[in-house]
Structure 1
Amino acid sequence: MSDKVVLITGTSSGIGLTAAVAAARAGFTTVATLRDPARAGALRKAAETAGVELDIRRLDVTDAASVEECVAGVIADHGRLDAVVNNAGAGHVGTIENESVDAVRAVMEVNFFGVVTVTKAVMPHLRATGGRLLTVTSVGGVIGQPFNEAYCAAKFAAEGFMESLAPVAATVGVTVAVIEPGAVASEFVANVGIEESAAAEAGVYGPALANYLDRTRGAFAAAQTSEAVGEAITGALTTGRPAFRIQTSDAARTFVGAKLADLDGSLVQTATSAWVA
């Protein structure tokens, strides 16, 4: 893999960090990107501990100029791009009556339009190498979850975009897949920004939010490690022909499988209603 170049977005922590280290360990020349290079300390330390080298660069998925500059630099320095992992994203918890439309737009900008912007920039280079485009979505890209309206909408959009792109990209030699983790123990959870006082400030939705947060804390207490997801991403980069939809744990497969078999939506609604009751 030493001649193959992979670019991964959102590598300052969590899944992106572990995926970058795992890809480098597998032999890829790994371009690990992040919005703020000043936050690369944990990434550098993880690479040093693993005994691998990373090419760390700035890339802000919400800034088209930043994306173009980064991709152009990778091509100038490495001459090729064999795989891209759209991983950068931001969590968000809220319900529409209590938040602004601008807040929802911001979630879409990072989690959906960021994916679109990177994809547009890299497709010509992946086409040149017959490469792979992987996008980390979530089980929340398949099942709508309470108080995750904006986040799930963005992840649903990313999945719909990639599911539609996959057969078109295949005609020019590019493989497209989505990675669907369930609960993952990482800084992503802390970065959602929910305070202990959130339920008390949620008005009529306070009791439901309190129940949701209690349930979510329990789910994340038994969460999959980000290292396991990073290994799943590396598997999708190296396997002969990856599936389009890749769940990263048995729990994720069970969860997604329930939705895909739920033709009228009643099974999912019954399950998720219990989270807030």
Structure 2
Amino acid sequence: MSTKTVLVTGTSSGIGLATAVAAARSGWHVVATMRDTGKAGALLAAAEEAGVTVDVRPLDVTDPASVEACLGGLDRLDALVNNAGAGHVGTLEQEGVDDVRAVMEVNFFGVLHVTKAALPLLRASGGRVVTVTSVGGVIGQPFNEAYCAAKFAVEGFMESLAPVAATVGVSVSVVEPGAVASEFVENVGLADNALELAGPYAPALSAYLERTRGAFANAQASQEVAAELVELLAAERPAFRVLTSEAARAFAGVKLKDLDGSAVQAMTGGWVA
């Protein structure tokens, strides 16, 4: 395991940081990437505390040149963890299509850029692609239209890619957390006066935010998700889908057995009533 290399995107905080440290503790050579390496302080401190080292490199998943420079600098790659992403709260009538495109660039096309660049190296090593999606890639959620659309797209893309990649020796998996205690929620771009600006959607948004605060009060720790990811990296026969908590399994299970869509609509409709 000490000779194997994993590249993890979005490691400045949250799941990415915890995964980079946990993988290093498990014997992986970790290439820990982030858009701004000036924000590597928390990662480096956590690695030092754990008694491990990580190889920090710049990578902006939305910039093909940055992706090529980072992946082109690797001689070997045994696993890729697509973790970089950004939350977004909003609804269609009140935001521009360019706002939606920006969400797709980070959460969907960023995953594609990095995976495409990694596949030749992963074919050579018989490696694996692990992509952190979300239960929001299984169930569409109010005021998360753009974010869930991006995560649905990632789920569909990876589910379709998996059997093709398997023919050349590369396994593909998705990991679906529910609510996770990290800086992710702080980065959804919601203005302080969002309710004032919400107009006719203000009552629904207020109800949604109250429900969400409650959900994240009981959120799973990033380290728990990281442990699931590291276990998946080491699995002899990795599963395609991994839900990281009982809450995530229960939530996604509503959709997976909801053939006419009524159960999901009844559930999420209650969030904004």
- For the criterion TM > 0.5, the same-fold answer is yes
Q: Percent of aligned pairs with the same residue?
A: 70
Please give the per-residue CA displacement for 1:27-76, whole angstroms capped at 9, x wherever unaligned: 0000000000011111111101111100000000000010010011122x
Match of 2:229 among 226, 233, 242: 233
Q: How does 1:69-108 map to 2 (within 5 A)?
A: 69-75=69-75, 80-108=76-104
What is the TM-score of this pair, normalised by structure 1? Answer: 0.98
1:199 match: secondary structure:
helix
CA distance, structure 1, for counterparts of residue 191 and residue 237 of structure 2: 43
Q: Deviations over 1:80-110 (max 9, x none)?
A: 1000000000000000000000000000000
The equivalent of 2:204 in structure 1 is 208
Residue 90 of structure 1 aligns to which amino acid in structure 2?
A
In the aligned structure 1, how far is the partner of 2:237 from the partner of 2:271?
37
Give the number of equivalent residue pairs: 273
Shift of 1:258: 1.0
Q: What's the counterpart of residue 64 of structure 2?
A: 64
CA distance in 2, matches of 1:27, 1:4: 8
Distance 1:74 1:117 in 2: 16
- Aligned AA (2:165): A
How far, CA to CA, are the matches of 1:157 and 1:10 in structure 2? 19
Shift of residue 193 of structure 1? Answer: 2.6
Question: How big is the shift at 1:197?
Answer: 2.1
CA separation in 1, counterparts of 2:236 and 2:247? 25
Which shifted more, 239-248 or 146-155? 239-248
| C-alpha distance in structure 2 between counterparts of 1:139 and 1:72, whole Å | 32
Q: Structure 1, unaligned stretches of length 5 or more? A: none
What letter corresponds to residue 194 of structure 2 in structure 1? A
Shift of 1:240: 1.3
Q: Which residue of 1 aligns with 2:143?
A: 147
TM-score (norm 2): 0.99
* SS of alignment partner, residue 167 of structure 1: helix
Deviates more, 1:216-225 or 1:65-74: 65-74
1:33 aligns with 2:33: yes
Distance 1:195 1:50 in 2: 37
1:121-146 Cα distance to aligned partner (Å, 9 max, x none): 00011000100100000000000000
**RMSD over aligned Cα, in angstroms?**
0.6
Mapping of residues 119-158 of structure 1, within 5 Å? 119-158=115-154
The counterpart of 2:185, out of the listed 180, 189, 193, is 189
- Three-state SS of the structure 1 residue aligned to 2:11 is coil
- For residues 110 and 44 of structure 1, the distance between their equivalents in structure 2, rounded to whole angstroms, comes to 24
| Matched residue SS, 1:56 | strand
d(CA) in 2 for partners of 1:63 and 1:195? 27
